[in-house]
Structure 1
């Protein structure tokens, strides 16, 4: 029996050794596999670690910092480069921004050693479950490694290198240093790198002024910059913001009350209507672009990444006043001109107003085609009647245009028999504009204008506006538009005659005349006065006050066109663009607004030639000054180009023009006696000008079409350009004391109420010009040598373009 029992238990007992051997073999295999894995890992580590990149990019952080342009009072007006970046030190980053990013990206950042192992395990389980490549669990340190050294490609090899780099970064830098690098380097959409740049890009404010709501919105962007930035998709950005604010509350960074307040705070993006493009505080686009061009000529493409800072001579308040003056002047002209009709008229389905989704879809497509331009906003007409036009901007923004003045401007488009081109009806695409306290419909202007002001003491450019909209057209008319100056050029003709014996009391014929083809060398020429109004005789002073063409031509005849051409080069005008022909007396040459301002500066500063300049100094990314302007300053005898007596008399004459003559509106509105100036209107009103000055400031305003055509038969320099000049000067001269004329220079005498050079006293000075009296030929004197006529090397003529249709100055007629 025992034998039988023993035999029945043998198979069971014999299986135990086999099981033990199997377990032993499996354990040995596992250990061996682990050792092999360890050896392979060690080998991979040994091979990879020495090949890891040097961390100098982190320890000596030098990001690609864009070129920035500032006003003289340090207001940012432009930024150029692929990356917008404002690098801040760790202590400069507000705590609310730090807590927001930790809540959104890595709440255990200060606890782990660079890798959040719990997160890694979660990601591995998800990857195995989904049969996908390595995903998620990236800490801030890992993102720093990826952003500085690796691609974002999701592969196991890249992930391995990322882990190694993470360990190396953690062993080299402090946690604060790592977080600082992350917050300055991370891409946040719209070319913004780092949270300081993103704050300016999206909210138009420095990071130091960020609120918890705004910080949470920025902190939500790194997960997917193209999807979660508020400009690209505000609704997604708001959802992500809510998540981040919830995390901040859960982690103790926000109280319940602060959380609720942040959730309720409206988010205002910087792209509100009327704000400068790019989120800048003022409109300095033309200035910034010119400064960029000047520096690009030196450094080429490197200028966009080396962190240069250009500090211009522009005053921010003056610049904004000039911008507003140009915009308002152009809009005022547009209101005076006949209404040309809507942009187009689309088919607007009946009853679409009752379907907000469909209406918004239609409006979105229209606004994609016709962009808003500051205060000019695109809309579609829902209904139109002579007493009311209803315009939709969106299903939530319906605007009634009912103001009588506004309706009067567009009346020709509201009458029953209006032509299709100008008719305003349901579906018309129009621009609307808030004019004070009422809305108006106004077409987007096609006319252009420009304004520049300079300091006559040294030529510093104080303000510069090159056109109506830089976003539409980057052509800078201040520096690049060569236009006929018309009567605004006459003061230089008059100045030339003073040094040849003509005086303000000289009597000049104002009768019309004709030069034969034989006299002109081409064809007969019969110049005319503005309005065909003539007088038998005027004094030289009266001729300038009234801007009489016959007087100006006869004065130029008296001293000779060649002498005048030589003389005007003292003021910086190009000989080649201002030929020695009689039409030059009417401003038939070509100048830019900046050149004309430079010329008037000679009258303002006492007779000295200064060179306009825009850049005061430039610093590198560390703040070191690498260029400092050294302008020519008025008062140095080496750059005197005009006799002080001539300047004194011209100042007196031009103050008279601004008080009694074609520019009398200046004195009437500004009530100042220290302003001189001159209007200018070219033939058929193609160009309208006003140039004016005080001893401390010169300003020039111009209006016209890029392809010359008439502004309108009633448009003149006094009506179109002078209002721009006045609007600017109201700001620029506010609170500035009046400056009386200086002492009369030696060699100048005032006799019987007018001025005479001592070498040309009464009896020897020219008494009459163009009148039937003998001995009218002026004394023969040798013109002074040419003075330097180059613009400052920053603003060379070779960099400018001509957009006046290319008509030779010699063949253009000018009429006043």
Structure 2
């Protein structure tokens, strides 16, 4: 018996020695192929690209992998204990491979024929995750063992564990425990409960089938295994075990913790980063700081959405989104809730289902809000939509508007809710810091999820009267002053080539005869704009438009450009107006202020440039006239309002200037305006170029302040601009524009444009001021055209 024992031990020794020799031989063969594990000291964990506002609000996150690197000191000890108890209980004792674990796993396999226990240590998993594939071969396993031994020599145990817990895939594109805590629970690691930590620690075995979102029952069973091992190893008490085991599974998917809604701007920043860094932008942990401030961006969002919803309210209710039941057995609340959970929401609109209708109210179930009541104040606006220019009678009871079983949209109204609908109209709002071109707010449409088309930089729309300041700017450099008289009279131009007459008209179709250039611009006189274009030259106007940044290659060089027939994007428009606001410089708009890597190293810094395109004097004069478009003015004893008078009423400031714009048949409504600190453009229209904005009739159910009639730049786009500017300009005290040294002032007679001792102050470029005083028998000139010339 003793001899057999000696022989068995000898055999074991021989086999063990043979195994060691075999490993040494194998190491000699593959050792040169092993990667240098010292690279782990400099490892860069792939993290997604994040986009922030100037005040560090998260706007968006891009990248396939969600990772939030966390130091070992920031990880809760129970979380570490949970992973060690499950994955590698002897981690702090073994040298990188665990012979005890290997023997235990082998014994289980020999006795049961099943692989119930893994033999890979955490160090081996680090070796595999960073350097090797997951192929199941002897060579890969040997490489893994040798690498694990090398890693243990290069790194401390805590460094190895930190790499592992930040690298390991944990399902739903989360990599590392920091990301998993956010993805499954929307929490930082320090805020996790023991049950949640155990749930995350159970994921490495099979994250796709053990995660609590896709497979909650399997995940709960796996959590029980983790908690059981923690109890066995003395890391938790029986009471802690019982409490964690009883905890319900509440995991759900949490996206990036977006704190500021600016998706159109985020996509512009995203594309900019891709241009600079290519596909590496997704993995280098870039932090992109945009030029917007949170309060201004939020104001832009609300201004545009409220403006578009306001248009929709005026034009009538188009009916429910769907009918879930009609007569018969109504759905129960569980059925309704399940259906609502499948529907999107478009801030501030939430889907809801009507469950009952009374005389002047309706009961509804609202997604994630439960049951509520729509009172009459939230329903009475909803006269039926017939066409864009026609609405039905005002409703008198709720049953004319909604019916039980209808899926509708609602939005907040005070402490309650009101009926809403997803608008078919759309729009854009963009604002710049005029001195630099930095974008301070940008909203490219009603809802990015609904439609990703960015109307700020992609929608080329006819400019309408928004073009006129550029035409007038040209005229001021070609013989005209703000006091020059131009004939505001109808034009009838015969075109022999086409055999047609061109008869452009003012809007409204009213003509005042001799009128000063200042008043003509402020009141947006179409025929005056054409006469100024004729006298200053189409070629000069085209060059001026080119200088302001418009694509003149696509603009026909005809007189119709004076009325805004060319097209431009809102971003081009606001950039053009910035030159009036900043004293005559063209700027290049930009949305990215700087880009940093994951360590805070600045990789890109914006360097704004200016290029002078008009004189400071020209910019001041146009700005002054556009100020009159808001503040109004007087000609003799006659008072007049400019087309932007609503802006003055809304903001109550005298340092703002702006211009309305409306195209033929009101297909596009614009307002562009500024003060020395902000310049902004608002545009409203249908994405269908041929669809006019229409008209609305007075709604007797609503108050006296409602907007009715035609949809124009001053009534449709201007309120959006004003709502944004209320917030944007609240940071800046009123700031009157300083008068350039090259200008002089003179008192003029507003009826004649000549000097008057009792007139109103006007500004002139030195040498262009009038030299004569007004007399009752003065024979006046209209720019370069005599008053005796034909008016047609």
Normalising by structure 2, report the TM-score.
0.82
Q: List per-residue Cα deviations over 1:51-105 (Å, max 9, x = no partner).
A: 5443245233123333333333343323322223333443454556545544665
What residue in structure 1 maps to residue 509 of structure 2?
532
Check 1:707–1:746 CA distance in 2 against 1; reply closer, same or farther (3 A cut).
Answer: same
Q: List per-residue Cα deviations over 1:392-438 (Å, max 9, x = no partner).
A: 457x85433422233234453999999xxx98544433333333422
Q: Is the contact made by 1:134 and 1:156 (CA closer than 8 Å) also made in structure 2?
A: no
Matched, 1:594 2:571: yes
What residue in structure 2 maps to residue 759 of structure 1?
767
Check 1:624–1:525 CA distance in 2 against 1; reply closer, same or farther (3 A cut).
Answer: same
What residue in structure 2 maps to residue 280 of structure 1?
258
Matched, 1:659 2:638: no
Check 1:433–1:142 CA distance in 2 against 1; reply closer, same or farther (3 A cut).
Answer: farther
SS of aligned partner of 2:502: coil
SS of aligned partner of 1:320: helix
Q: Is the contact made by 2:318 and 2:384 (CA closer than 8 Å) also made in structure 1?
A: no
Q: Which moved more, 1:593-602 or 1:611-620?
A: 611-620
What residue in structure 2 maps to residue 511 of structure 1?
489
Check 1:738–1:361 CA distance in 2 against 1; reply closer, same or farther (3 A cut).
Answer: closer
What residue in structure 2 maps to residue 3 of structure 1?
none
Q: Is the contact made by 1:134 and 1:159 (CA closer than 8 Å) also made in structure 2?
A: no
Matched, 1:292 2:270: yes
How big is the shift at 1:767?
A: 3.9
Matches within 5 A, 1:347-386: 347=325, 351=329, 353-354=331-332, 356=334, 362-363=339-340, 367=342, 370-384=343-357
Matches within 5 A, 1:599-678: 599-633=576-610, 639-660=611-632, 661-678=642-659
SS of aligned partner of 2:661: strand
What residue in structure 2 maps to residue 192 of structure 1?
174
Structure 1 unmatched runs, 5+: 1-19, 272-276, 634-638, 778-816
Matched, 1:408 2:390: no
Matches within 5 A, 1:392-791: 392=365, 398-412=370-384, 424-518=402-496, 523-633=500-610, 639-660=611-632, 661-708=642-689, 709-713=691-695, 714-752=710-748, 753=760, 754-762=762-770, 767-768=781-782, 773-774=787-788
SS of aligned partner of 1:69: strand
Q: CA RMSD in A?
A: 4.0
Check 1:290–1:94 CA distance in 2 against 1; reply closer, same or farther (3 A cut).
Answer: farther
Q: Which moved more, 1:582-591 or 1:747-756?
A: 747-756
Q: Is the contact made by 1:383 and 1:425 (CA closer than 8 Å) also made in structure 2?
A: yes
Check 1:301–1:658 CA distance in 2 against 1; reply closer, same or farther (3 A cut).
Answer: same
Q: Is the contact made by 2:647 and 2:719 (CA closer than 8 Å) also made in structure 1?
A: no
Q: Is the contact made by 2:623 and 2:657 (CA closer than 8 Å) also made in structure 1?
A: yes
How big is the shift at 1:208?
A: 6.3
Structure 2 unmatched runs, 5+: 386-391, 633-641, 696-709, 749-759, 774-779
Q: Is the contact made by 1:497 and 1:559 (CA closer than 8 Å) also made in structure 2?
A: yes
Matches within 5 A, 1:70-89: 70-89=52-71
Q: List per-residue Cα deviations over 1:673-715 (Å, max 9, x = no partner).
A: 1111112122222212111111111111112222222222322
What residue in structure 2 maps to residue 799 of structure 1?
none
How big is the shift at 1:602?
A: 0.9
SS of aligned partner of 2:561: helix
Q: Is the contact made by 2:374 and 2:419 (CA closer than 8 Å) also made in structure 1?
A: no
- Mapped to 1, the partners of 2:190 and 2:384 lie a distance apart of 53
Q: How many residues align?
A: 736
SS of aligned partner of 2:496: helix
Check 1:255–1:502 CA distance in 2 against 1; reply closer, same or farther (3 A cut).
Answer: farther
Q: Is the contact made by 1:644 and 1:745 (CA closer than 8 Å) also made in structure 2?
A: no
Q: List per-residue Cα deviations over 1:267-301 (Å, max 9, x = no partner).
A: 79785xxxxx7322112322222122223224332
How big is the shift at 1:605?
A: 0.9
Q: Which moved more, 1:151-160 or 1:743-752?
A: 151-160
How big is the shift at 1:265?
A: 11
What residue in structure 2 maps to residue 787 of structure 1?
none
- Mapped to 1, the partners of 2:620 and 2:538 lie a distance apart of 24
What residue in structure 2 maps to residue 173 of structure 1?
155
- Mapped to 2, the partners of 1:262 and 1:509 lie a distance apart of 87
- Mapped to 2, the partners of 1:596 and 1:401 lie a distance apart of 44
Normalising by structure 1, report the TM-score.
0.79
How big is the shift at 1:648?
A: 1.7
What residue in structure 1 maps to residue 15 of structure 2?
36
Q: Is the contact made by 1:249 and 1:259 (CA closer than 8 Å) also made in structure 2?
A: no
Q: Is the contact made by 1:124 and 1:134 (CA closer than 8 Å) also made in structure 2?
A: no
- Mapped to 1, the partners of 2:728 and 2:161 lie a distance apart of 46
- Mapped to 1, the partners of 2:98 and 2:394 lie a distance apart of 74
How big is the shift at 1:672?
A: 1.3
Q: List per-residue Cα deviations over 1:609-633 (Å, max 9, x = no partner).
A: 2222223233344433333322225
Q: Which moved more, 1:103-112 or 1:79-88?
A: 103-112
SS of aligned partner of 2:568: coil
Q: Is the contact made by 1:72 and 1:311 (CA closer than 8 Å) also made in structure 2?
A: yes
Check 1:428–1:616 CA distance in 2 against 1; reply closer, same or farther (3 A cut).
Answer: same
What residue in structure 2 maps to residue 55 of structure 1?
37
- Mapped to 2, the partners of 1:552 and 1:143 lie a distance apart of 75
What residue in structure 2 maps to residue 182 of structure 1?
164
How big is the shift at 1:348?
A: 7.5
SS of aligned partner of 2:684: strand
Q: List per-residue Cα deviations over 1:774-813 (Å, max 9, x = no partner).
A: 4899xxxxxxxxxxxxxxxxxxxxxxxxxxxxxxxxxxxx
Check 1:522–1:481 CA distance in 2 against 1; reply closer, same or farther (3 A cut).
Answer: farther
How big is the shift at 1:500?
A: 2.1
SS of aligned partner of 2:501: coil
How big is the shift at 1:111?
A: 4.3
Q: Is the contact made by 1:134 and 1:155 (CA closer than 8 Å) also made in structure 2?
A: no
Q: List per-residue Cα deviations over 1:520-544 (Å, max 9, x = no partner).
A: x574332233343444443322222
Q: Is the contact made by 1:144 and 1:178 (CA closer than 8 Å) also made in structure 2?
A: yes
Higher fraction of helix: 1
Q: Is the contact made by 1:384 and 1:424 (CA closer than 8 Å) also made in structure 2?
A: yes
SS of aligned partner of 1:43: helix
Q: Is the contact made by 2:514 and 2:782 (CA closer than 8 Å) also made in structure 1?
A: no
Q: List per-residue Cα deviations over 1:13-51 (Å, max 9, x = no partner).
A: xxxxxxx6xx85686367436623641454145415725
